[in-house]
Amino acid sequence: MTSNARSDERIVAEDHQFRIGGRVEELYAGAVHYWRLERDKWSDILDKVRSLGFTAISIYMPWEVHEIERGKFDFGSIDPRKDLDAFLTLAEAKGLKIIARPGPQINSELTWFGYPLRILADPELQAQNAQGGRTVLTQVPRPIPAVSYAVDKFFDETALWFDAIMPILSKHQYPVGGLISAQVDNEMAFFFNINAYASDFCPASIKRFRAFLEGKYGSIAGLNAVYRAKYASFADVDAPRSFSATTRTDLPAYVDWIEYRERYLIDSMKRLADMMRERGLDRIPLFHNYPHPLGPGGAASGITAPYNLMGLEEVLDFVGFDIYSRKELYEHVKTVTSYVVGSSRFPYIPEFIAGVWPWYLHPGDDKDEAFVTRAALMHGIKGFSRYMLVERDRWLASPIRRDGRVRPENAAVFSSTNKVLKDFDFKSLRRQADVLLLANRDYDRLEAASVLISYPGDFLESQISLSEYPNFMTTSEETFGFAEPVQTAKNDWFAAFYEALSSGGQTFLLSDTALPADRLPRYKAVLLSSFEFLGATVQKKLLDYVKAGGTVVVGPKLPSLDERFAADTTLLDAAKAGGSSVVSVVNREAATRYAIGKGALVVVQEIADVEAVLGVALAGAGVVPVRKNHPKLDVTIHRDPAVNGKAVVFVANPTAQPIVADVGIGTSVSKVSEVWEGKPVVITAAGWKDDFAPYTIKTYIVEA
């Protein structure tokens, strides 16, 4: 998607690498807000950023702050702290690369979220909830109405801002300057109105929804056939305003609204990206950051609807998720990073915790940040921007204070991390993962659609104290004629697969059923839940993968319907045509294995059998787990393809108890050295031993 650059200057984000002119870059960035610092502190602060080993700075540019009045901006002629061009030039002089985040929305705890107040106060620009009223996000210090990204006028207003700032940014683009990437908007998730019926029902959005339906079904007759309805035209179709489905024939109308919400986010980001490229930012990759989905426990949902990472990567260069977590939430970090690594072209964390905003409850400390940092790296993250590297108004506990003083404990976390990443050439490593666990986008859409109550986003806590993300406390318990409520059962099966893979020492990544088919063969086995219905495209790509030699494990059953609940027996027919055998566990029939082409399709009937069946099925696929003496230990393996006989192995104790670990990676070892503490490690016949305090992650260079 980047263009207009010579091949030796081209910047490309792909294959888990960020490359400039063919050279793999280390993208270890941190956030600095120039307008919130005294100008005479800029130089010293940027020196301190460099001294901590960062290679780039990531900068918001606030429309809210630069605009004096509509169409007029201050870029330093009035307030010298707003001299963005000078700041960028200074950063370049310091040898720092630049990542620009010009909005239009930037949050950054600004009173108006990055917009001029006149934008938020304009009723024509406000998103609407299902009842036709405005949607308000509760945030500090002023709650704000959500802006509709479906209204053309919003993009016309944004154009005035882009017309002013893009010329400044364009002239700093690499290779002339240090600007190497830019973010489109910020954490666009309907202003955290994640709930399906909280936003956006404004007339412009409903019009786009109808166009989406027309594009999907081709004709009103096509829609009527699926909806079992009698609409005269698309103009008569309204969006569902609350969930009241009772049978499966009711469901497509609701699920389509969820799919449309994904497209709404994708299309609006594409529109903004095109505006940025048209205004000269056409030589650098553009990316977006979905917000951190802190779902309950390990976030079994929250990585898909309304987000569609792979869909958004069709229009942007790469997409990441922000992470603000603590050591007790290891499974959340693992889920999000494993998903980004398993799905994105370049697994990057656009905002990676370094301090927090004041209304973040129970903030951690430097030990939390150290643990979370290693957790993300162990699962394969390849680049990040620490947010915020430099403290400012409405942010606390950053390693560099706004007067330039350094917080030693926090700074040590970042400087040691950056040093290790460089010393061990982390950018060249590849995460080994033999298994892929897929979230099922169709099931996640059903879950999102089936929420029983609707409420707006809240940065503190919703007045009814329920998560904005759909979960077992808010979704319908209807079965819609299926054997069980798929919208909740799919979480149980995902969790069962996830737990079995983790405790069994399997090396795995996450993605979802939207993953392009050509990426499945990277894995020896693919797992997902499967109920009476499974998307037609999904069935086909799984079948093709199995025929070519892969192993697919599903549970509890093979589907007979597609995502529109029309008959689709693609997998069933293939299973019946091939030979089958019973997978027994403890002398009991626990699963059926179907030989199809060069591969196998394994169906587990009972959730209680998942762990045992997986052990057999994955062994049959040639998957070798890591060896570990405690089910809660987590182990990941990374290798440099250019270096034989050496592996970088992360071992995590994510529990509150100490563990004496005894681990191995399936090869004999001649030397093991730990990179963070440098303490000696006891080598055993099959691996090595080491003591792990609670919430500890260690990294080993393991030589055969």
Partner 1 sequence: MLHENPLMADIDVDHWRNLQSLLLESAKEKRRIIVIHEGGKILKFAHSAKAAVVRPIDKVTDVHKDAEAIYDANVATTDLVVVIERGASDAYFKAVQNAWTPADDIDVYVHRAFTLMGQYPDGIVVFPGPASYRLGLQWRLGASYAEVEAAVHAFAKPNSSAVFGVFEGAKLWTTLVLHFDAARKIDVVTTVDPTEIKADGGREAVVAEVTEWVSKRYGTVSLGLYSDTAGAERFLKAVDKVKALAELRRTDALIATPLPAPLAALIKLA
Segment near partner 1 (CB under 8 A), from 221-229, 412-420, 452-460, 668-676? 452-460
Q: What is d(CA 661, CA 657) in angstroms, rounded to the nearest whole number?
A: 12
| Three-state secondary structure call for residue 472 | coil
Binder to partner 1 among 40, 47, 461, 518 (CB under 8 A)?
461
Q: What is d(CA 414, CA 410) in angstroms, rounded to the nearest whole number?
A: 7
> Residue 135 or residue 506: which is nearer to partner 1 going by CB?
135
Binder to partner 1 among 402, 490, 524, 593 (CB under 8 A)?
402
* Least CB distance to partner 1 at residue 454 (A): 6
* Least CB distance to partner 1 at residue 83 (A): 21
Segment near partner 1 (CB under 8 A), from 129-137, 509-517, 564-572, 671-679? 129-137
DSSP state of 372: H
Does 401 contact partner 1 by CB under 8 A?
yes
Q: For residue 558, what are the CA distances in angstroms to 430, 529, 591?
A: 34, 9, 12
Q: What is d(CA 487, CA 441) in angstroms, rounded to the nearest whole number?
A: 11
Does 416 contact partner 1 by CB under 8 A?
no
Q: Kindly determine how many residues on this chain lie close enough to bind partner 1 according to the rule CB under 8 A.
A: 54
Instruction: Output Rg (C-alpha) for the chain, integer angstroms.
Output: 25
| Three-state secondary structure call for residue 306 | coil
Kindly tell me the sign of the dihedral angle through the C-alpha atoms of 666, 667, 672, 676: negative
Give the x/- contact pattern for partner 1 in 465-504, rule: CB under 8 A.
xxx----xxxxxx---------------------------
Q: For residue 451, what are the CA distances in angstroms to 201, 254, 290, 461, 681?
A: 17, 11, 21, 18, 51
Does 454 contact partner 1 by CB under 8 A?
yes
Binder to partner 1 among 460, 517, 608, 682 (CB under 8 A)?
460
User: What are the backbone angles phi and psi of residue 648, rounded to the nearest 5°?
Assistant: -105, 120
* Least CB distance to partner 1 at residue 106 (A): 16
> Residue 243 or residue 348: which is nearer to partner 1 going by CB?
243
> Residue 397 or residue 604: which is nearer to partner 1 going by CB?
397
* Least CB distance to partner 1 at residue 160 (A): 21
Does 124 contact partner 1 by CB under 8 A?
no
* Least CB distance to partner 1 at residue 245 (A): 12
Binder to partner 1 among 138, 249, 503, 592 (CB under 8 A)?
138
Does 365 contact partner 1 by CB under 8 A?
yes
Segment near partner 1 (CB under 8 A), from 153-161, 381-389, 463-471, 676-684? 463-471
The Cβ-side half-sphere exposure at 406, using a 13 Å CA radius, reads 17
> Residue 368 or residue 434: which is nearer to partner 1 going by CB?
368
* Least CB distance to partner 1 at residue 144 (A): 9
Does 139 contact partner 1 by CB under 8 A?
yes
Distance of CA 642 to the CA centre of its chain: 29
Binder to partner 1 among 464, 586, 642, 656 (CB under 8 A)?
464
> Residue 462 or residue 580: which is nearer to partner 1 going by CB?
462
Q: What is d(CA 646, CA 639) in angstroms, rounded to the nearest whole number?
A: 7
Binder to partner 1 among 52, 59, 106, 130 (CB under 8 A)?
130
Distance of CA 393 to the CA centre of its chain: 27
Binder to partner 1 among 452, 495, 686, 701 (CB under 8 A)?
452
Does 131 contact partner 1 by CB under 8 A?
yes
Task: With beta carbons less than 8 A apart as the criterion, state whether 639 and 662 touch.
Answer: no
Binder to partner 1 among 78, 93, 140, 608 (CB under 8 A)?
140
Binder to partner 1 among 108, 129, 417, 570 (CB under 8 A)?
129
Q: What tokens appear for 483 in the block?
A: 């054997």
* Least CB distance to partner 1 at residue 31 (A): 15
Segment near partner 1 (CB under 8 A), from 142-150, 301-309, 540-548, 693-701? 142-150
Q: What is d(CA 344, CA 314) in angstroms, rounded to the nearest whole number?
A: 11
Does 230 contact partner 1 by CB under 8 A?
no
> Residue 447 or residue 512: which is nearer to partner 1 going by CB?
447
* Least CB distance to partner 1 at residue 440 (A): 21
Does 68 contact partner 1 by CB under 8 A?
no
Q: Which of residues 344-363 bind partner 1 (CB under 8 A)?
A: 355-356, 358, 361-363
Q: What is d(CA 90, CA 101) in angstroms, rounded to the nearest whole number?
A: 17
* Least CB distance to partner 1 at residue 464 (A): 6
Q: What is d(CA 526, CA 559) in angstroms, rounded to the nearest whole number?
A: 16
Does 391 contact partner 1 by CB under 8 A?
yes
Of 106, 98, 96, 122, nearest in space to 66 by CA = 106
* Least CB distance to partner 1 at residue 689 (A): 36
Q: With left for phi above 0 and alpha for psi between -120 and 50, is residue 569 left, alpha or beta?
A: alpha
* Least CB distance to partner 1 at residue 104 (A): 18
Who's near 198: CB < 8 A, 6+ residues apart?
129, 130, 135, 190, 454, 455, 456, 457, 468
Give the x/- contact pattern for partner 1 in 320-339, rule: CB under 8 A.
--------------------
Q: What is d(CA 594, CA 335) in angstroms, rounded to the nearest whole number?
A: 30
> Residue 252 or residue 457: which is nearer to partner 1 going by CB?
457
Task: With beta carbons less than 8 A apart as the criterion, state whether 349 and 376 touch.
Answer: yes
* Least CB distance to partner 1 at residue 396 (A): 4
Give the x/- contact pattern for partner 1 in 233-272, rule: CB under 8 A.
---------x------------------------------
Does 462 contact partner 1 by CB under 8 A?
yes
What secondary structure, in 3-state letters, does 405-458 show?
A: CECHHHHHHHHHHHHHHHHCCHHHCEECCCEEEEECHHHHHHHHHCECCCCCCE
* Least CB distance to partner 1 at residue 130 (A): 8
Does 134 contact partner 1 by CB under 8 A?
yes
Sort strands 634-639 and 646-653 into parallel, antiparallel or unpaired. Answer: antiparallel
> Residue 45 or residue 319: which is nearer to partner 1 going by CB?
45
What b/e sequence results for 350-379 when a residue is b if at least 16 CB atoms lie within 10 Å of its CB, and e otherwise? Answer: bbbbbbbbeebeeebebebbbbbbbbbbbb
* Least CB distance to partner 1 at residue 126 (A): 10
Who's near 256: CB < 8 A, 6+ residues apart?
212, 213, 216
Q: With left for phi above 0 and alpha for psi between -120 and 50, is residue 182 left, alpha or beta?
A: beta
> Residue 461 or residue 606: which is nearer to partner 1 going by CB?
461
Q: What is d(CA 55, CA 51) in angstroms, rounded to the nearest whole number?
A: 10
> Residue 424 or residue 459: which is nearer to partner 1 going by CB?
459
Of 237, 223, 314, nearest in space to 270 by CA = 314
Binder to partner 1 among 30, 114, 116, 145 (CB under 8 A)?
145
Sort strands 634-639 and 696-703 into parallel, antiparallel or unpaired. Answer: unpaired
Task: With beta carbons less than 8 A apart as the criterion, state whether 345 and 621 touch.
Answer: no
Q: Is the peptide bond before 306 cis (omega within 30 degrees of 0)?
A: yes
Does 117 contact partner 1 by CB under 8 A?
yes
Q: What is d(CA 348, CA 287) in angstroms, rounded to the nearest whole number?
A: 10
Contacts with partner 1, residue ranges (CB under 8 A):
111, 117, 120-121, 129-131, 133-136, 138-143, 145, 242, 355-356, 358, 361-363, 365, 391-397, 401-402, 452-456, 460-467, 472-477
